[in-house]
Amino acid sequence: MGNRFLVCAALSGFFLVGFGAFAAHSLEGHLSPAALLWIEKGWRYQALHTVSLLIIGCFMAATQAQSVWVQRKRAVNIIGFFWLLGIVCFSGGLYVMALLNTTAFVMFVPLGGVAFLIGWAALLYVSLRRVD
């Protein structure tokens, strides 16, 4: 699959542009203001973490040949996995709740938030950890 985080960032970015255009031009008159706010919040969090995945993918590509890379590869995979999980659960949960006018998926939103936090905490840990 090549660089999985660059692939996921590309797919997520494509979705962001398409869904953003769809929401702006087709949903505004059909959804409640609260539902539109859910979509906007999900879109913003997804955009932030899509850029973060893009950066991790570029980091992976740039440091692949270095010996330090072997020691940090697992940590970078953990960070990217939790950010992807956060996008799916947090943003996806908000999108589903808004589009289907239901709160049945509300439990996924905080799980996605926790996944985002775990990814950021793992990045902090890796950044502070000394690699010999």
The helix (run of H) or strand (run of E) holding residue 128 is helix 108-128
The pLDDT assigned to 68 comes to 62
Number of domains in the chain: 1
Reduce the DSSP state of residue 55 to 3 states and report it.
helix
What is the rounded distance in angstroms from the CA atom of residue 66 to the CA atom of residue 103? 47
Tell me: the pLDDT tens digits for 79-109? Answer: 999 999 999 999 999 999 999 999 998 999 9
The pLDDT assigned to 128 comes to 75
Q: Which residues span the domain enclosing 22?
A: 4-128
Name every residue whose Cβ is closer than 8 Å to that of residue 93 and which is 6 or more positions away in sequence. 42, 105, 106, 107, 108, 109, 112
Read off the pLDDT of each residue in 17-45 and give the average, rounded to a whole number.
92
The pLDDT assigned to 59 comes to 82
Tell me: the pLDDT tens digits for 37-93? Answer: 999 999 999 999 999 999 988 888 777 766 665 667 788 889 999 999 999 999 999
Give the pLDDT band (50/70/90) at residue 22.
very high
Could you give the angle at which helices 67-86 and 4-22 cross, rounded to 10 degrees? 30
Name every residue whose Cβ is closer than 8 Å to that of residue 89 and which is 6 or more positions away in sequence. 108, 109, 111, 112, 115
Give the pLDDT band (50/70/90) at residue 1.
low
The pLDDT assigned to 71 comes to 62
DSSP letters spanning 63-108: HTTSHHHHHHHHHHHHHHHHHHHHIIIIIHHHHHHHHHT--TTTTH
